[in-house]
Copies of this chain bind each other. A is one copy, B any other.
Amino acid sequence: TLESSQTLTTKNMNSYLLVLSGALVFFMQAGFAMLCAGSVRRKNTQNTMLKNLLDACGAAVAFFFVGYAFAFGGDRVSGGGPSDPNRTGSTFLGAEQFVGTGDIDLPFYFFQYTFTAASVTIVAGTLAERCQMAAYLCYSFFLTGFIYPVVAHAGWSNYGFLSPANSNPLLGIGMIDFSGSGIVHLTGGTTALYATYILGSRRGRFYDATTGRPLDVPKPFPGHSVSLQMLGSFILWFGWFGFNPGTALLLVDNPYQAEIGALCAVNTFLASSAGCISALVIKMFLRHRQTGEFSFDLVAAMNGALTGLVSITAGCATVEPWAAIIVGLVGGALYLGASDLLIKCKIDDAVDAVPVHGVGGIWGLLSVGLLSAPERVRQAYGTNEHPGFFYSLSEGHSDASLLGCQVLGTLFICGWTLVTMLPFFLWLNFMGWFRCESVQELVGLDIAYNLGASHHGDAFKGEDEDVKE
């Protein structure tokens, strides 16, 4: 009949668009790999990219066996209500549909896999140049198989205690994290922070490589190829247009689906651009105060754009375009501050993933609580009772329900990763499995683990000054 044919067309369309959006998100793996490869010294290129590659592959296996089941098992994944009208309330974990069994919504399955893979690989760059392969693989499986699914379940599942799709959402609204500033990026970013804190800084970065005395000025370890960094950043940016608008495809019965998807795209380009400009300009003026000269810091600009992207990911469906620009501007500034703070604390992050994904993720969650427009919240979540705090203030109320949910969500994600990942990394470290040996770090992990140098004919010719120490 015409009606069934109509339903079929709609289903086909949603399904295919979700597959294509997921493909864009998958391509972000290439972005992370190129960004990491360009950000490390040449002698560690292979090793870093291998971690990115294995994140994608390990995430697939972990997701198939347990990750999906823990995150979304038993859910009615598309649409707003719980799968079983008799089943309500919150659970800590899903526990159905292991190893791809049961009636799985395949496009959703694919799309969620790509998110899992994105979350885990955020950490790869932070730990670059000094982490043992085996330890990294353990971390990778642990995060994708258990830690991330718990967060995704809490925030997105119909039975998650933070989820707005819960039949009885937290504070009447739940945490709004539309595409995962918190669930995907903060989970990765905060894990990266704990990991690098335990792992320690790269040899010679903050402490003299021979005497171990703190350096007056941290030694910069610039990446070996800005072109690859730039390429990686642009690939990530491109993939984000699958990440954010793609999520709107999950709102299958929502009449505003098309508008929400397009709003996500518009907010995404505005916030990233604002973040880029903000980081570049602030950095320029800071440098000018220090040196008296204006200079342009390309890496700051790139990371500012990425922080803008991370920041808008939570609120891309619920803030207005002008607010997206504010989210981006603040995100770019926060990135610079956080990056400096890390260096002052002598915490070594080879790609600045903690400032970008961690701090950007927190700001993303909070900005939703401040700036979500009532009408946009209503379109995406079906209620406009709890808008962003500034909107509430401007109407003479002071409804901080949404902001409260966002704060609770932030604390949950930071706390959950703290109580699980911190002991895990401490244990790895205690066993001596976490950090590679000093000599391996000196010659480079490519030679130590990967049987050779990345750029043949180059690596032994003293082009990396570090080798000559």
Closest chain B CB from A78 CB (angstroms): 12
- Known contacts A60-B270, A295-B450; decide if A224 and B19 are in contact (CB<8 Å): no
A23: contacting residue among B24, B41, B302, CB under 8 A? B24
Complex: chain B residue closest to A108, CB-CB:
B262
Q: Cβ of A226 < 8 Å from any Cβ of B?
A: yes
Residues of B within 8 A of A395 (CB): none
Q: Cβ of A449 < 8 Å from any Cβ of B?
A: yes
Complex: chain B residue closest to A227, CB-CB:
B37
A53 touches B451 (CB 8 A): no
Closest chain B CB from A300 CB (angstroms): 10
The A300-357 residues at the B interface (CB cut-off 8 A) are 301-302, 305, 320-322, 325
Complex: chain B residue closest to A463, CB-CB:
B457
Q: Cβ of A407 < 8 Å from any Cβ of B?
A: no
How many A residues, CB 8 Å from partner? 112
Residues of B within 8 A of A280 (CB): 54
Q: Cβ of A259 < 8 Å from any Cβ of B?
A: yes
Residues of B within 8 A of A50 (CB): 296, 298, 301
A269 touches B19 (CB 8 A): no
Q: Cβ of A187 < 8 Å from any Cβ of B?
A: no
Which of the segments A25-33, A189-197, A367-375, A423-431 contacts the partner chain?
A25-33
B15 touches A16 (CB 8 A): no
Interface flags, A109-153, vs B, CB<8A=1, else 0: 110010000000000000000000100000000000000000000
- Known contacts A12-B13, A30-B231, A262-B107; decide if A457 and B257 are in contact (CB<8 Å): no
Contacts beyond the supplied A9-B13, A19-B261, A225-B227: 4 A-B pairs with Cβ under 8 Å: A2-B6, A9-B10, A41-B456, A61-B325
7 tightest Cβ-Cβ pairs between the two chains A and B = A30-B234, A106-B262, A60-B273, A15-B258, A23-B241, A57-B273, A107-B262
**Residues of A at under 8 Å CB distance from B?**
2-3, 5-6, 8-24, 26-27, 29-30, 33-34, 37-38, 41-42, 45-47, 49-50, 53-54, 56-61, 64, 99-100, 106-107, 109-110, 113, 133, 222-228, 230-231, 234-235, 237-238, 241-242, 245, 249, 255, 257-259, 261-263, 265-266, 269-270, 272-274, 276-277, 280, 287, 295-298, 301-302, 305, 320-322, 325, 449-452, 454-458, 461, 463-465
11 contacts between A and B (CB under 8 A): A15-B262, A19-B262, A19-B265, A23-B241, A37-B227, A42-B457, A47-B296, A53-B230, A100-B322, A107-B261, A457-B463
